[in-house]
A and B are shown apart, each in its own frame.
Chain A
Amino acid sequence: MTALLEARDVSVHFSTAAGVVRAVEGVSLAVQPGEVLALVGESGSGKSTLGFTMAGLQTPTRGQVLHEGGVLDRALWRQIRREVQIVFQDPFGALDPRMLVGDIIAEPLRLQRLGNATERAARVAQLLDQVGLPGEAASRFAHEFSGGQRQRIAIARALAPKPRLIVADEPLSALDVSVQSQILNLLKDIQTAEQLALLFISHDLAVVNHLADRVAVLYLGRLVELAPRAALFAAPAHPYTRALLDAVPRIGRKRARGQGAIAGEMPSPLAPPSGCVFHPRCPKAQAICAITPPPSVQLRPGQMVLCHFPLEEGAA
């Protein structure tokens, strides 16, 4: 099955006054139709940049983004725009304050000339219903709604052109905790109902556990581990993944002390460490880790890790 959207050895570098920021470095990743792929990492890991690149909002400095095998350049993006949509993190900045909600949701339809005015209005009503908002919301302004409701509007807008993949960039992070589960469930229901592929970017592993089919872990712009959800949560192969999991509070399980706890903060992408970028913080680091970048090891079909010494299953 050809991947719906694929990143092939994608690197994204920004030149700034302070130097070159290597936000994403050599990532290869594919999203299959209908699957939920979670992109996990801390701030500074490059997950949002990767998400934007795969959504076509950022040109990769190296590498390619492919759609069903075809290389996505500007021309092709214009044609397949309706297939890939995006939901942003900040519900307050994502909606134009001067536009009516109905117009906001219909904008993708208008831009891609899908349907006439009546058909668009009907679709807007249908979408509002699907995301759980009243029909009369279409004639109001975005600032009249709460954060959670605005996120629903953003989701409705993303759904409008009937996309096959939605890139969701930390859609829950800016919401109140009580609202997060509502939106999460909404996304889940929609994904199942519409058979959507979802590239779900998050730093919250508990949420990822609820939603994802596969999980990709990013550290300092590198893809350090990629595995099916169950396998990743049960037996993480990368020390970083293990540390992330250990940090997630789970009821009924004492937090493991000592093992897996990592010191320090993620270094700046302006000056990545040599060899394996994780080595300064890695409890399992050895001499070679500081010198040679680690190879990409295929542990099992569908499970990959970027490490010299991947953790054994069940190892401490």
Chain B
Amino acid sequence: MSAASGIWVLRWQRLRGHRAGMASLVLLALLLLFVLADFPLEAITGIDPNEADLFARFDPPSWAHPLGMDEAGRDVLLRLMVGGQVSLLVGLLATLLGGVIGIAVGVAAGFWGGRLDALLMRFTDGMIALPLLPLLIVLGAVDLTKIGFSSEFAHSGAAGFWRIVVIIALVDWTAIARLVRASTMQIRERDYIRAARAAGAGSWDIIATHILPNIATPIIVAFTLTVGRVILFESVLSFLGFGVVPPTPSWGNMLNNAQELVTTAPLLAVYPGALIFLVVMAVNFLGDGLQHAFDPRSEQQE
């Protein structure tokens, strides 16, 4: 198996040479530790990030509360951590879900071509043409009870969380679909696909065995870049009030009241946004580094 691991070692080395990419990897690891630190901290100090103490509104930093208290008397540091968990989790899940949709559409269009391709591409182009934020807002404003969910579920935190994952995925799959379609079309013409047919492979065999593994590299890069975009979407939606709803914190909705805060407690407006900025920067740099590491031009030995 030396050759199999060989190519990944090569890629890892190339990534290590890309300074921004490596720095981002480290930064992301640190951020992950930061958001997960909430669990031990809560256990040790016993502070509940959702518990409001109106007497403690806007308290300045202290030993017990290193970043002070927010507008509802909740510990800012802990909320930043929990909010990070939510934002990052939404980012990952929405990326995965949107990615699955995008891969399905892209492979179908690229592999079978013809009328299916024309239809899917019209649809994809139509979606790309839409202004996304207004669409997301409308989707976010949908009253779940009207489509059959119970009132209890519709107002639960879980519903709010999954709603935003689903709507972002529904709206953001187009970039991956296009990429997958282009890659699939390229591969479809190769002789080894023909050979597989001659060997008796049906369409699904070919897609699973030959096409998907060969488009894995551009997909990985695309996924990484998507995560950044998705995190930004979630933060905007939550900020506008259509995403993650309080009391569940997310970096976006922590800025919800920030406009009023700007005059009274400006720092509260700085922290969450700065964290979003950092994560998205890091993810984008990582994507750049991965692109560099996977560069097919240096990989082709032909």
Q: Assess A/B contact in the complex (Cβ within 8 A).
A: yes
Q: In this assembly, does B43 line the interface, its C-beta being within 8 Å of a C-beta of chain A?
A: no
Q: In this assembly, does B195 line the interface, its C-beta being within 8 Å of a C-beta of chain A?
A: yes
Q: In this assembly, does B197 line the interface, its C-beta being within 8 Å of a C-beta of chain A?
A: yes
Chain B contributes a number of interface residues (CB within 8 A of A) equal to 21
Contact size range, A: 20 to 34
B199 A94 Cβ-Cβ under 8 A: no
A78 B200 Cβ-Cβ under 8 A: yes
Q: In this assembly, does B201 line the interface, its C-beta being within 8 Å of a C-beta of chain A?
A: yes
Closest A residue by C-beta to B193:
A96
By a CB distance below 8 angstroms, the chain B residues around A12 are none
Which one, A86, A90, A98, contacts B198 given CB within 8 A? A86
A143 B199 Cβ-Cβ under 8 A: no
A143 B200 Cβ-Cβ under 8 A: no
By a CB distance below 8 angstroms, the chain B residues around A287 are none
Expressed in whole angstroms, the minimum distance between the Cβ of B157 and any Cβ of chain A is 42
By a CB distance below 8 angstroms, the chain B residues around A89 are 191
Q: With A78-B200, A85-B199, A108-B200 in contact, do A92 and B194 touch (Cβ < 8 Å)? A: no
A90 B191 Cβ-Cβ under 8 A: yes
Which one, B192, B205, B302, contacts A96 given CB within 8 A? B192
Closest B residue by C-beta to A143:
B301
Give CA–CA (A96, B214) in the complex, Å. Answer: 8
Give CA–CA (A84, B194) in the complex, Å. Answer: 13
Q: In this assembly, does B190 line the interface, its C-beta being within 8 Å of a C-beta of chain A?
A: yes
Give CA–CA (A154, B194) in the complex, Å. Answer: 12
Q: With A141-B4, A143-B301, A143-B302 in contact, do A94 and B191 touch (Cβ < 8 Å)? A: yes
Q: In this assembly, does A185 line the interface, its C-beta being within 8 Å of a C-beta of chain B?
A: no
Q: Which of A57-102 contact B (CB under 8 A)?
A: 57, 78, 81-82, 84-86, 88-90, 92-100
A84 B195 Cβ-Cβ under 8 A: no
Most buried by B among A82, A96, A108, A143: A96
By a CB distance below 8 angstroms, the chain A residues around B200 are 78, 81-82, 108, 111-112
Number of A-B residue pairs with CB-CB distance less than 8 Å in the complex they form? 70
A88 B3 Cβ-Cβ under 8 A: no
Q: In this assembly, does B210 line the interface, its C-beta being within 8 Å of a C-beta of chain A?
A: yes
Q: In this assembly, does B265 line the interface, its C-beta being within 8 Å of a C-beta of chain A?
A: no
A93 B198 Cβ-Cβ under 8 A: no
A154 B195 Cβ-Cβ under 8 A: yes
Give CA–CA (A56, B195) in the complex, Å. Answer: 11
A144 B198 Cβ-Cβ under 8 A: no
Give CA–CA (A118, B102) in the complex, Å. Answer: 38
By a CB distance below 8 angstroms, the chain B residues around A255 are none
Give CA–CA (A78, B198) in the complex, Å. Answer: 10
Q: With A78-B200, A107-B199 in contact, do A100 and B191 touch (Cβ < 8 Å)? A: no
A94 B1 Cβ-Cβ under 8 A: no
Expressed in whole angstroms, the minimum distance between the Cβ of B218 and any Cβ of chain A is 13
Which one, B191, B205, B213, contacts A111 given CB within 8 A? B205
Q: In this assembly, does A157 line the interface, its C-beta being within 8 Å of a C-beta of chain B?
A: yes
By a CB distance below 8 angstroms, the chain B residues around A108 are 199-200
Q: In this assembly, does A173 line the interface, its C-beta being within 8 Å of a C-beta of chain B?
A: no
By a CB distance below 8 angstroms, the chain B residues around A298 are none
B191 A88 Cβ-Cβ under 8 A: yes
B4 A100 Cβ-Cβ under 8 A: yes
Q: Which of B271-302 contact A (CB under 8 A)?
A: 301-302
Q: Which of B197-228 contact A (CB under 8 A)?
A: 197-201, 205, 209-210, 213-214
Closest B residue by C-beta to A77:
B200
Q: In this assembly, does A140 line the interface, its C-beta being within 8 Å of a C-beta of chain B?
A: yes
> B residues near A, CB below 8 A?
1, 3-4, 190-192, 194-201, 205, 209-210, 213-214, 301-302
Q: List 30 A-B contacts (CB under 8 A).
A: A56-B198, A57-B194, A57-B198, A81-B199, A81-B200, A82-B200, A84-B198, A85-B198, A85-B199, A88-B191, A88-B194, A94-B192, A96-B192, A96-B209, A96-B210, A98-B213, A99-B210, A99-B213, A100-B4, A107-B196, A107-B199, A107-B209, A108-B199, A111-B196, A112-B199, A139-B1, A139-B3, A140-B3, A143-B301, A143-B302
8 closest cross-chain pairs (CB), A and B:
A108-B199, A94-B191, A81-B200, A111-B200, A93-B191, A88-B191, A98-B213, A96-B192
